Amino acid sequence: MKMKKLVILTGAGMSAESGFSTFRDSGGLWEKYNVEDVASPDGWERNPEMVLDFYNRLRKQLMQAKPNAGHQGLYELEHDYDVKIITQNVDDLHERAGNHNVLHLHGELMKVRPVNRENEIYTLTPENCEIHLGDKDKNGIQLRPHIVWFGEPVPMIEKAIEWTEEADIFVIIGTSLNVYPAAGLIHYVRKGIPIYLIDPQEVHIPSGLPVHIIHKGAGEGVKELVQILKSHL
């Protein structure tokens, strides 16, 4: 029997319980910097050294973080569903939990690329997770974080739309649905497809969409989702 396609959109709230802070959190590394200085092409032009230092620090924080119960729950769903994860997060916690199909809309913290090429990507290791001014690719071009900064196009959005249109079940976890283009994905879910939203906060949902809301954090929320989905198998 063919597995149903379970497509999951995750945001900052997914990683919060792992202790990995994002720029939306209060506290943490992001509070010490202006977002425009470290997450925009202009910031890079002004002070690439500061940008590289910031992401080196962020990677060290990521090394300390571990997948939480929510991540583990999404991996376990792979036994019964064809799970595809579209994430706004730049961490690798979904992959470390075991998920196989993960699409990163905003790039990946553990990857770098030359400043002039989007498709030539290098993966860093936990032992060697820093890049500095002067670190170059084989053509002598400076490396930068493989992150989609504010004002840059989101190259993976077309594939994310494709996955969303194919979904038999669509789940949203830990995202405010305020950041576009990711927030617009909900409009590509086919009519009649069940939609679940897991978030302890109030989230604005476009009117007319029947959404089953689970007002919990990622860990407890995914646990409840697993129970609901299992009852429908």
pLDDT digits (tens, 9 = 90+) for 43-57: 999 999 999 999 999
Number of domains the chain contains: 2
Q: Are 95 and 207 contained in the same domain?
A: yes
Could you report the per-residue pLDDT of 48-105, keeping only the tens digit for each? 999 999 999 999 999 999 999 999 999 999 999 999 999 999 999 999 999 999 999 9
Give the residue numbers annotated as catalytic, written as ranges. 106
Q: Are 221 and 174 contained in the same domain?
A: yes
**Token couple for 108:** 């990946």
Q: Name the residue type at position 30.
A: W
Tell whether the model's pLDDT for residue 30 goes beyond 70. Answer: no
Full domain range(s) for residue 212: 1-20+70-106+155-233
Neighbours of 141 (CB within 10 A): 14
Q: Are 51 and 95 contained in the same domain?
A: no
Q: Are 102 and 181 contained in the same domain?
A: yes
What is the pTM for the complete model shown? Answer: 0.93
Strand ranges of the sheet holding 107-114, from the earlier edge strand across to the other edge: 122-123, 107-114, 143-147
Q: Is 26 a domain residue?
A: no
Q: Are 123 and 209 contained in the same domain?
A: no
Last residue of a domain, one of 147, 172, 204: 147
